[in-house]
Structure 1
């Protein structure tokens, strides 16, 4: 049974990170429902919300680390807005650490509620085209409102730490539309911020003590394999249909979560 469980976890990690790399969104919004329902449906394991959020947090940590290393390899590190990463990174680190620690004391219904809210937000944001500035995209000295940056990233960190997410699908629209950061700089900088967030969230999850380490290990291995494949394929195809298909999938999951809550 253990071999079957680890095989399922590896495949789920691969599938979740594949679509994450393909569509350029945070992996947790896909991974959370996969990890919560599929092992139970297949009869190999039944993870509670605390365990699912912990596994997902580890996935985000390694997926974002892989992305940051890829940017450095492509010599795109100069696109990262260092000041923005400093302000938002420290704030989201504190928020995700607190969220990860708080998840220890939250019932599964509350964590599912937080995911349900995030899923609704994700669907709305995925249906609205993101339009960031295109001018000065090579510059990383762009001014921004530091109070808004710190406050928003802290709040994103708290809720992300609870459900085991990096928060990129919320951070990116905030950076584009509220802070007025150019698109290319936003994408590069958000990746670094999410990695910092994942460090705090992972520490919180370890301290909280809800991490099934062997299933997590195989899920992370699958994630590392899947993300580069999705990223490569995304360069040569139109993913609009897949994106809307994912919207439907997340919507169905959100409905199931909300129906169980209500």
Structure 2
């Protein structure tokens, strides 16, 4: 085992998933730049954009799987604050995002490094905008959930394609869309988006396996760190006000986006 590789990838997985669990956003928006730049700065061989995308997708898959398992445990214990996964919403958005992430993951193998950087750069700008604009969903009620199925499906398909290219789950885009456009209640959004992102990551992982260029050893080390980091982040998020950290993360994403766009032009 390369101890330096293990240490760097474990720490990156830990940090990325910690902020993911802390702030409730898609981990890939943090993990992509960390995986792209930090290993080379630490003296390791740099990963290509294709490899970074694959590592990030596997990390999102296992982190979201851990989140779904944790949610089910809290549900059995009666500790979800009435949050509920809406099966119809998951069916429409989950099936669309699965198809999209499969397509996106396959497409990523056909794109050059510049194009993958471009897609991440666009996603980073979208993430900054969505994190700056507060998304307020309606409160949960006992009334049956209604939503525009066409908008839900088409939006999820687009998010899936783009997320599959860079190795994301798409939660940081899906959640604001569900809250502001589809008008899904807050708790239902939180619970259902977790299941939808897991489906998205499943499609992305399958697509990456088909496309190839999978760095197995770094993925294993990163996943181990991410499982620990996500758990810690989730616990910390319930104890502190994360507003300042959220804005700090905005600065980090903005700096990374500037670096990525600079490398493109």
Normalising by structure 2, we get a TM-score of 0.96
Among candidates 131, 134, 138, match of residue 129 of structure 1:
134
Structure 1 SS opposite 2:147: coil
- Kindly report the root-mean-square deviation, in angstroms, between the aligned alpha carbons of the 2 structures: 1.2
Residue of structure 2 in register with 1:194 after alignment: 197
Q: CA deviation at 1:6?
A: 1.5
1:114 aligned residue: 119
SS at match of 1:79: coil
- Segments of structure 2 that go 5 or more residues without pairing to the other structure are none
Cα distance between partner residues in 1 of 2:213 and 2:92: 30
Counterpart of 1:18? 18
Question: 2:240 — aligned with what?
Answer: 237
Q: For residues 93-108 of structure 1, what are the structure 2 equivalents within 5 Å?
A: 93-108=98-113
CA-to-aligned-CA distance 1:23-48 (integer Å, 9 cap, x gap): 11110000000000000111112001
For residues 108 and 102 of structure 1, what CA distance do their matches in structure 2 show? 12
**Cα 1:217–1:112, aligned 2, differ >3 Å: closer, same or farther?**
same
Q: Which residue of 1 aligns with 2:40?
A: 40
Q: Which moved more, 1:68-77 or 1:236-245?
A: 68-77
Q: Distance in 1 between matches of 2:16 and 2:38?
A: 12
Runs of 4+ residues over 4 Å off in structure 1: none
Cα distance in structure 1, aligned partners of 2:140 and 2:36: 42
- Structure-1 separation of matches of 2:126 and 2:103: 22
CA contact (8 A) 2:118 2:264 kept: yes
TM-score by length of 1: 0.97
Alignment match, 1:65 = 65
Which runs of no fewer than 5 residues in structure 1 stay unpaired? none
Q: How far apart in 2 are the matches of 1:202 and 1:195?
A: 10
SS of match in other structure, 2:240: coil
The equivalent position to 2:230 in structure 1, one of 194, 204, 227, is 227
Are the aligned partners of 2:101 and 2:200 in contact in 1 as well (CA < 8 Å)? yes
Give the match's secondary structure for 2:109. helix
> Alpha-carbon deviation of 1:22?
0.8
Question: Could you report, residue by residue, the CA deviation over 1:106-138 in whole angstroms, capped at 9, with x for unpaired residues?
Answer: 0011001000000000011111111000141x6
CA separation in 2, counterparts of 1:176 and 1:125? 12
